[in-house]
Structure 1
Amino acid sequence: MTFKQIPAASASTGLLIILLCAMGAGPLFNYGVSVSSALIIEQLGITAGQLGLIVTVVFASAAISSIWLGNLADKISARAQMAIIFTGTAVALVMAAFAHSYWLLLAAAALSGPAQAISNATTNRVIIRAVPVEKQAGWIGVKQSGVQASQLFSGLLFPAVALALGWTGAALGGALVCVLLWFASFKYVPSPAKLAASNSPAPVEEPPEVTVETDQVSAVNTKDKMPAIVYFFAVIAMLSGMGTQATNVYLPLFAVEELNFSLVLGGVAAAVSGIIGVVSRLAWSRQMQAGAQPSRLLIMISLGAIFGVLAFLGAAMWQQTVLVWVGAALHGMTVLGANVVINAGLLRAVPGSKIGAASGLNSMGMYAGFALGPLVMGGLQDLTHSFTAGWMFVGVSYVACGVVAVMLYRRRGRNEKRS
């Protein structure tokens, strides 16, 4: 006899918006640095490679803390986790606002990492406990779009405020937004007592082993063994994350330095990706809700992302600004949706009691990719004084992502033949 949670009545629109904001709060730091990159480089006298190291520190910190925080998410209340997300980001932004040296900015970056690392585990756990099963994939799509909503918000707010009030004013404005969202979360995030009351366990008979039907790769849910598909997802998250974050960080600077965009217009290019990313994440979540195979969607995402890289290469080669917008659009349409597919796949493959740990493992892969991508691309830019080599690196990461997705798809096919 095992127990299956009954969905809570607390799955309100307000809760969904807070989950979206929780996903978007952490990235405010790195998106703010990215879209204000030309100003920060000039103000601190650093290189493009040093700028990439700032974001690398953010995600290295997130990767190191993600598994521990993922396990912690299974033990502490959702409200406590919201405090980590919103206040952690606010403190990092305040520190960055008054950072008059590069090293202090790196320290702020390290502080912001854990706030991002726990966000997936926190929001996934709230959804799996408070949302009816048939709506969970849709909620995943909406809350994951919070990252792109943050990209949109940062692309429009930070450059404009930074030009008027400097980086200090822009960073303090972002910190204030995080504090206000934290206070708002008190109203909508269920307390532990409320979750316990609205999720009274109902006994149901289940076989001792439950086989997962989606992209099944030895995905037998037991107490001791994590489904193998979780590791495939972690590798895909790492490879796609390398290209995703390299693009997020350097797209505005690429547009400013190689296509002569203004600082504000460079931020708008990032915002375009964010706008399209919000829509695309909802679209990918609908595909998952309709029962699509994650591996097949990830193959499509990888192919589209490769075409986006080709657009950026063409923009630099032929000085065609229109290709920057094409590349930004393809970036938003494709690889920005990968995490939606992966997280929805995790909810299918992992029992609720282990979703925090599985999300932490996936986050470790994703944040490792997020850390490596900007570091490598920035280093290549410093070495070659061009973004061409960096874009080629991004393209290779997407090719590798597609290869792993094909391996997952083919292995699923072999498992189906055996059964």
Structure 2
Amino acid sequence: MTTPKTPAAASASTGLLIILLCAMGAGPLFNYGVSVSSALIIEELGISAGQIGFIVTVVFAAAAVSSMWLGNLADKISVRAQMLFIFLGTAIALVVAAFAHSYWLLLIAAVLAGPAQAISNPTTNRVIIRAVPLAKRTGWIGIKQSGVQASQLFSGLFFPAVALALGWTGAALGGAVVCVLLWLISLKYVPSPAQLARRKSTMPEPEPPEVTVDTGKISTVGTKDKLPAIVYFFAAIAMLSGMGMQATNVYLPLFAVQELNFSLVLGGVATAVSGIIGVVSRIAWSRRMQAGAEPSRLLMIISAGALLGVFAFLGATLWQQPALVWVGAALHGVTVFGANVVINAGLLRVVPSHKIGAASGLNSMGMYTGFALGPLIMGLLHDVTHSFATGWLFVGLSYLLCGVVTVVLYRRTIAKENRS
């Protein structure tokens, strides 16, 4: 005789986890598609490397501007409506980009792509906090966050290969079809509002009005209305790490093609390598969080490792050593991709479920601000200096500042420990 599943067990299925991973990966398809096809797009439209960076800047500026509103919206509308917003929003952006025979149409597509990415973290965090048992949440965070790197892996292999055969139009339309198919599949696995309500009433998990991170455990502080101060630290760290991460994501393929004479496909493979390693590393970072690690300690390690990756890219361009591109790509995947996992897992520790959308929206605003600034500044530096070296120095500075903020957060946490 089999034991009937509880609503929590039924809703927290493997299929749902895969859909959450895909929801995180759908939005970045536009950015990664543009990035790994950048050499081809530059040739077709006659634009500069800086203008490629500005396309991605527009994506994330749109995401940053809309993230707070969308974060609050995620606490109010159904998850299925949000999945429609994510998958079809990205598909529409890719269709517009497919037929963009001018730079301005690509910028319009970028504006459409931004909000679809902005709501992905609030949506997926909300599903996890309401449909997944407490013991499994951190593990789910790590896996669903790795969807962004799964998207990077897919894009690095898919877009250059299809673009060489069918052009940018065929590659972008192919990406749009993938998004529509994923949305149709999501209808089977994403819980309805009634299912989420049954899960909450059957397995209530009392939570404090507000919580804060101490040594990795939950303790009560504050009031109902304000977010814990650590949420703002997380947003600052997300912004600084995001600047370097997205500058690297956007320009790594073009850097490899232009300065190390990689082919378009091999430049895409360099991005795919980061994606493969990033998927594994995000799961590994989530396990460290699940084991009770203090977020600021992990974020310090991530910042230091990301700096080593920057040194590898600098060495590759200064000494013309292609092998260092692969070293840098690997370090990029191992380290900075884990920051968002640690931050989002930390948010689930410090924020009650009724405020998770707002907290995720604030974090997303910081992250997307960094995502917008990183490619813009690196692109401008390249256009001015005609070299990627100054851009890599900028990326290194962003990681250095990120490390400084994490040290401040760590010392603040230790001081609270000593007082308690």
Distance in 1 of aligned mates of 2:36 and 2:212? 45
With 32-41 and 205-214 compared, the bigger mean Cα shift is at 205-214
Aligned to 1:316: 317
**Aligned-partner SS, 2:323:** helix
Q: What is the Cα deviation at residue 222 of structure 1? A: 2.5
Q: Counterparts of 2:209 and 2:254 in 1: how far apart (Å)?
A: 54
Secondary structure of the residue that 1:222 maps to in structure 2? Answer: coil
Could you say which residue in structure 1 is the equivalent of 2:407?
A: 406
Q: Deviations over 1:296-321 (max 9, x none)?
A: 00000000000000000000111110
The C-alpha deviation readout for 1:145-174, integer Å capped at 9, x for no partner, is: 000000000000000000000000000000
Structure-2-length-normalised TM-score: 0.96
Shift of 1:206: 7.0
Q: For 2:328 and 2:210, how far apart are their aligned partners in 1?
A: 45
The answer as to whether partners of 1:211 and 1:221 remain within 8 angstroms in 2 is no
Distance 1:148 1:248 in 2: 10
Tell me how far apart the structure 2 counterparts of residues 207 and 152 of structure 1 sit (CA, whole Å). 39
The residue aligned with 1:290 is 291
Alpha-carbon offset, residue 263 of structure 1: 0.3
Over the matched positions of the two proteins, sequence identity in percent amounts to: 80
2:379 is matched with 378
CA distance in 1, matches of 2:382, 2:146: 30
Q: Distance in 2 between matches of 1:228 and 1:211?
A: 8
Is 1:96–1:171's contact at 8 Å kept on the other side of the alignment?
yes
Check 1:211–1:309 CA distance in 2 against 1; reply closer, same or farther (3 A cut): closer
Q: What does residue 349 of structure 2 align with? A: 348
CA offsets per residue over residues 331-356 of structure 1, 9 Å max, x none?
00000111000000000000001000
In structure 2, relative to structure 1, the CA distance for the partners of 1:22 and 1:204 (3 Å cut) is closer
For residues 103-135 of structure 1, give each alpha carbon's deviation from its aligned partner in whole angstroms, at most 9, with x where no partner exists: 000000000000000000000000000111111
What corresponds to 2:364 in structure 1?
363
Change over 3 Å in CA distance of 1:94–1:404 after alignment to 2: same
Moved over 4 A (4+): 201-212, 214-219
Provide the secondary structure at the position in 1 that maps to 2:293. Answer: coil
Counterpart amino acid of 1:256? V
2:90 is equivalent to residue 114 of structure 1? no
Match of 2:3 in 1: none
Alignment match, 1:158: 159
Q: Say which SS state the counterpart of residue 200 (structure 1) adopts.
A: helix
**In 1: Cα distance, 2:205 partner to 2:345 partner:** 24
Structure 2 unaligned regions, length at least 5:
1-6
Match of 1:280 in 2: 281
Give the Cα–Cα distance (whole angstroms) in 1 for the partners of residues 279 and 61 of structure 2: 25
2:47 pairs with 1:46: yes
1:53-90 alpha-carbon deviations (Å, 9 max, x no partner): 00000000000000000000000010000000000000
Matched position secondary structure for 2:262: coil
1:137 match: 138
Match of 1:251 in 2: 252
Contact 2:218-2:349 at 8 Å conserved across structures: no
Distance 1:414 1:216, change over 3 A: farther
Q: Distance in 1 between matches of 2:406 and 2:216?
A: 10
Aligned residues: 415
**Which residue number corresponds to residue 267 of structure 2?**
266
Q: Distance in 2 between matches of 1:343 and 1:207?
A: 18
SS at the partner of 1:236? Answer: helix
State how far apart, in whole Å, the 1-side matches of 2:211 and 2:396 are.
38
SS of the residue corresponding to residue 11 of structure 2 reads: coil
Contact 1:54 1:105 in 2 (8 A): yes
Is contact 2:208-2:352 (8 Å) kept? Answer: no
Q: Tell me which moved more, 193-202 or 399-408.
A: 193-202
2:174 aligned residue? 173
The alpha carbon displacement at 1:198 in A equals 2.5
**8 Å Cα contact 1:214/1:348 also seen in 2:** no
Cα pair 1:242 1:371 within 8 Å, conserved = yes
Alignment of 1:222-241 (within 5 A): 222-241=223-242
Q: What runs of 5+ residues in structure 1 fail to find an aligned partner?
A: 1-5
- Match of 1:188? 189
Q: Secondary structure at the match of 2:10?
A: coil
**How far apart in 1 are the matches of 2:34 and 2:205?**
50
Q: Could you say if the C-alpha distance between residues 254 and 202 of structure 1 is closer, same or farther in structure 2, counting changes exceeding 3 Å?
A: closer
Q: CA–CA distance in 2 between the matches of 1:122 and 1:140?
A: 12
Local SS of the residue matching 1:199 = helix
The whole-number CA distance in structure 2 between the counterparts of 1:270 and 1:414 is 40
1:300 partnered with 2:301: yes
What is the distance in 2 between the residues matched to 1:228 and 1:333?
Answer: 28
8 Å contact from structure 1 (residues 312, 324) kept in 2? yes
Change (3 A) 1:200 1:216: closer
Relative distance call for 1:262 and 1:233 in structure 2 (3 A) is same
TM-score scaled to structure 1, two decimals? 0.96
Give the Cα–Cα distance (whole angstroms) in 2 for the partners of residues 372 and 218 of structure 1: 35
Say yes or no: does 1:393 pair with 2:394.
Answer: yes
Q: How many angstroms does 1:194 deviate by?
A: 1.4
Q: Match for residue 3 of structure 1?
A: none
Deviation of 1:29 (Å): 0.1
The CA distance in 2 between the partners of 1:41 and 1:63, in whole Å, is 26
Residues 216 and 227 of structure 1, relative CA distance in 2, 3 Å threshold: farther
Change (3 A) 1:334 1:324: same
Closer, same or farther: CA 99–192 of 1 in aligned 2, 3 Å: same
Does the CA contact (< 8 Å) of 2:67 and 2:361 recur in 1? Answer: yes
Q: Does 1:326 align with 2:327?
A: yes
Q: Which residue of 1 aligns with 2:30?
A: 29
Q: Cα deviation per residue 1:273-308 (whole Å; 9 max; x = unaligned)?
A: 000000000000000000001000000000000000
- How many Å separate the matches in 2 of 1:168 and 1:412? 51
Specify the code of the residue in structure 2 equivalent to 1:35: V
What is the CA distance between 1:417 and its match in structure 2? 1.4
Paired residue for 1:76? 77
C-alpha distance in 2, partners of 1:274/1:209? Answer: 35
In structure 2, how many angstroms separate the alpha carbons of the residues matched to 1:163 and 1:205?
55
Between the aligned partners of 1:204 and 1:31, the Cα distance in structure 2 is 39
| C-alpha deviation, 1:216, in angstroms | 8.9
